[in-house]
Structure 1
Amino acid sequence: MAAPYHFRPMTTADLPQIKRWLALPHVREWWGDPAEQYALVSGDLDEPAMDQFIVATEGSDLGYIQCYDLTAWNSGFGKQPDGTRGIDLFIGEPDMVARGHGSALIDAFVEERLAQGATRIVTDPDPDPANARAVHAYAKASFREAGLVDTPDGPGLLMIRDK
């Protein structure tokens, strides 16, 4: 069941938990090689275009979300309005998966970003039919499908939520 969420800025103290989550099968399935992803996530702590958060509810951490400016690296999203931010996330705690948290935390996070001045939020879940849970969570959080895109990580389903 969904609950109120807190998005705490990630710090180096969170890295052991991130490393543990990335190694779990349900995260690894969509995020890929845990060592590679850990290097990227930990390396982005000082990246000015990237904001990283630990998602918590009811006093416990349950996942990770990153929110970033569109740069040359992620140009696969095509032309987007100024003020567009991208997001990626995962629910790390296995017992929190398939309990309504995905769409609810996405909605809460995006509402905060739009209230803070973002004009559009984009994401690119893997279009593989096996990833229907993620696509459904974004759709339930008021994202609309905008077509397939080629990204540095491979094909993605561009999904958009405007202010």
Structure 2
Amino acid sequence: MTLAYTFRPMTAADLPLIRRWLREVHVREWWGDPDEQFALVSGDLDEPAMEQFIVLAGDKPFGYLQCYRLTAWNTGLGPQPEATRGIDQFIGEGDMIGRGHGSALIRQFADAQLRQGLPRIVTDPDPLNARAVRAYEKAGFAPDRMVETPDGAALLMVREP
């Protein structure tokens, strides 16, 4: 996949789109209760430790990505190098699933962050979410270990320069 993606900072104007995506079956399956997740995502708009993006392919918004300082949300991921960031993402548009966009957008985002000097990026997908684990592996993340988070067991995955 050679498509270049745009990561536009999310604003309050994007909240109706986020709400719609969180209600999609393929997002709900792994992100959980749409109303609970919407409260968390919208509540983080003014959180200085959290960057939120709408991911676009061309001019089409199709996904959400959040990148955060672990110091604020390191719940069960263990000691990490200073300045490590965590990421989570989903593809909201069902017609964009299963086409390589997940791994490609994650790789593009992670490459840019690491070029800017981040020492490490981590993520913690549900180990049963084979599609997410595969996408992160294709984007250069390596499985590290199983961890216990407030949301249950997760697979800690790590990407370094």
Mark the runs of 5 or more structure 2 residues left unpaired by the alignment: none
Structure 2 matches for 1:21-36, cutoff 5 A?
A: 21-36=21-36
Shift of 1:118: 1.1
Higher helix residue share = 1
Partner of 1:4: 4
Please tell me the residue identity of whatever aligns with 2:4.
Answer: P
Structure 2 matches for 1:70-149, cutoff 5 A?
A: 70-71=70-71, 73-128=73-128, 131-149=129-147
TM-score (norm. length: structure 2): 0.97
RMSD (Å), alpha carbons? 1.0
Question: In 1, Cα distance between the equivalents of 2:33 and 2:73?
Answer: 20
Mark the runs of 5 or more structure 1 residues left unpaired by the alignment: none
TM-score (norm. length: structure 1): 0.96
Q: Which runs of 4+ in 1 moved over 6 A?
A: none
Aligned: 1:154 with 2:152: yes
Identity rate of aligned residues, in percent?
66
How many residues were matched structurally?
A: 161
Alignment check: 8 A CA contact 1:9 1:53 kept: yes
Shift of 1:39: 0.1
Question: In 1, Cα distance between the equivalents of 2:97 and 2:3?
Answer: 13
